[in-house]
Each structure stands twice: as structure tokens, then as C-alpha cells.
Amino acid sequence: MDGHELYHLGRTLMKLGEQSIPPMGIEGLSAPTRAIVSDIFENPGSSISDITARVRFPQSQVSACVARLRDAGAVETVTDPQDRRRTLVRPTAETLRRAKNRPPAAIDGAVAAAIGSTDPKEIARVHEALDRLREALRPRES
């Protein structure tokens, strides 16, 4: 596998995940907005500049997205106490609570459609491979 194939595999996995997630309000968000939301969850307390560097969208797009999310009550922003020119972004307590209490999102249907089989053994084999991949790529504590 090379970088191009890995990229396409990642896109395929994202699409399977999107198909598996029950309606919760985020399905109507654009792909860039979902990327920004994901980054904020993974890196709470980041500055707009930090988010911009990670998601690789224009700063104006990230700022506008964060403003919309703030107005919707999904994130909160505070002035960085160490550098008052920077704005820090984090999910609100309510957003974190809802994320913690989200229902499980079964993937069997999306996996079956992707592999073209409803054989439980085939689906279980893909589950096992995905579990191994998740474990191998899990962020390590510093």
C-alpha cells in the first residue's frame, strides 16, 4: 500500500462511518465543518491558528465555521490568557455530554454493502481487521 491507496482507504472508511452514524444533527454539516468539529474534539483548547494548521483550510473558513458553531452552542471560545490576541476553542459542556451519551452506531450494514456479502463470518473478519487497525493507530499517551 502506498500513500495514495492509504488516502483512498481512509476516505472509504469515512464514508462507511458516515453511513453508519444514526441521524444526530451532524449529517447536514459540510465535510469541512465536520473536519473542524472533529479537530476541536480531538484538541480542545486549541487556537484558531492551530486548528487551521491541522485541517489545512483557510483561516477565514475556520474562523467563520467556529463562529457558526459558537452561535449554535456547540463550542465556546475564550481569549488565550497568555496571548490575548489568540482565541481558544473547545466543545461546550452540553456538547461533550451529548457526545458521551450518543447511541452506538452499528456498522454491519455498511460493511456488508461495502464487501458485497451478508455472510456473518465475512463481516466478523472485517470487524476484526478494523479493531486491529484501530488499536495499532490509537494515539499513545505521552
Q: pLDDT confidence of 140, banded at 50, 70, 90? A: confident
Which grid coordinates are listed for 16? 462507511
Do 21 and 27 touch, CB atoms closer than 8 A?
Answer: yes
Number of domains the chain contains: 2
Residues 79 and 109 in one domain: no
Q: Give the model's pLDDT for residue 2.
A: 92
- Whether the predicted model's global pTM rises above the 0.75 cut: no
Residue span of the structural domain in which 31 resides: 25-102
Q: Give the model's pLDDT for residue 42.
A: 93
Sequence-ordered list of residues with C-beta below 8 angstroms from that of 29, at least 6 positions apart, any chain: 37
Residues 41 and 86 in one domain: yes
Interval 21-63: pLDDT, tens: 876 655 567 888 989 999 999 999 999 999 999 999 999 999 9
Residues 53 and 86 in one domain: yes
Residues 15 and 45 in one domain: no
Residues 97 and 39 in one domain: yes
Residues 83 and 110 in one domain: no
Domain holding 82: CATH number?
1.10.10.10
β-pair partners for 46: 89
Residues 40 and 79 in one domain: yes
Residues 77 and 114 in one domain: no
pLDDT value at 11 more than 60: yes
Cβ-based neighbour number of residue 50 at 10 Å: 16
Residues 29 and 95 in one domain: yes
Residues 29 and 98 in one domain: yes
